[in-house]
Amino acid sequence: EAVEPALAAVARRLDGETGRLFREAVGRQRRLGATVGASFLGPDGALAATPSRRFRGAAALCALAAQEGQPAGEALTTLGDHLAGLRRVEREGRRELSAVTGTLANTAALFGPLVGGATVALAAGLGGNAGPLGGRPLPVSALGPAVGAYVLLLAATLTALSTGLERGLDRALAGYRVGLALASATTAFLLAVVVAGALL
C-alpha cells in the first residue's frame, strides 16, 4: 500500500487532535496536490502551528516513507492501528481510574465521617464504663475532637489525592474539591454523632 492512501486510512481511524492533524494534512494534500512532507511540514502545513518535535519527527518519517514508495504505506497503516489501540487503552484506563477516584472521594466526604461519628457516639454511649480489665476508656471530650480532626484530615488528603490522580496537579480545582469535601465531612460527622447517639 502506498503512503498517501495509508495516510487517508490513518486519518479516518484516529480521533482527537492526532486524527484532526492527519485529516488536515490529507485534505491539504488532495486539494493542493502537495507532497506528504509539505502537507505536514510546509509553511501552511498541518503542523505549522504545532511546536511538538514528536509530531514533526513523525511527519518527517511519513514524508521519507512517501519518497521510498509502497512498502512504507503498510507500516504507516500498522502505526495508525497501534495509535488507535493506545487510545482505546487510555480510555479504558481513564474509566477504571475514575472508579477508583470516585471511591476515594466518597470515602473522604461521606463514609469515613459517618464511621468516625458513629465511633464517637458509641464511645459516648459506653459512658466511662470500665472495661473487662478495669481500664478506663478515653473520655469523649478528648476522643471526639481527635476523631473529628482525623476525619477532616482524611477528607482533605483523600480528596486532594483523588483530584490529583484524576486531573493532575491543579491547585485551584483541588482546593475547591477539598473545601466541598470538608464541608460534607463535617456535616456527615456531626450528623452521625447525633443520630447514632440517639439510637444508642
Q: Which residue has the cell 512517501?
A: 66
Q: What is the pLDDT of residue 129?
A: 63
pLDDT of residue 103: 94
Q: What is the pLDDT of residue 29?
A: 86
Q: Where are the beta strands (DSSP E) in the chain?
A: none
Phi, psi dihedrals of residue 114, rounded to the nearest 5°: -65, -45
- Using alpha carbons, list the distances in angstroms from residue 115 to 120, 124, 147, 185: 9, 14, 10, 11
pLDDT at 80: 73
User: What is the biggest distance separating any 2 CA atoms in the chain, rounded to whole angstroms?
Assistant: 92
Distances (CA, A) of 57 to 14, 31, 51, 63, 81: 18, 24, 11, 10, 19
- pLDDT number for residue 104: 92
136 CB-near residues (< 8 Å, 6+ apart): 128, 130
Q: Which residue numbers in the chain have pLDDT < 50?
A: none
CA angle 48, 63, 61 (to 5 degrees): 95
Domain ranges of the chain: 3-69, 95-199
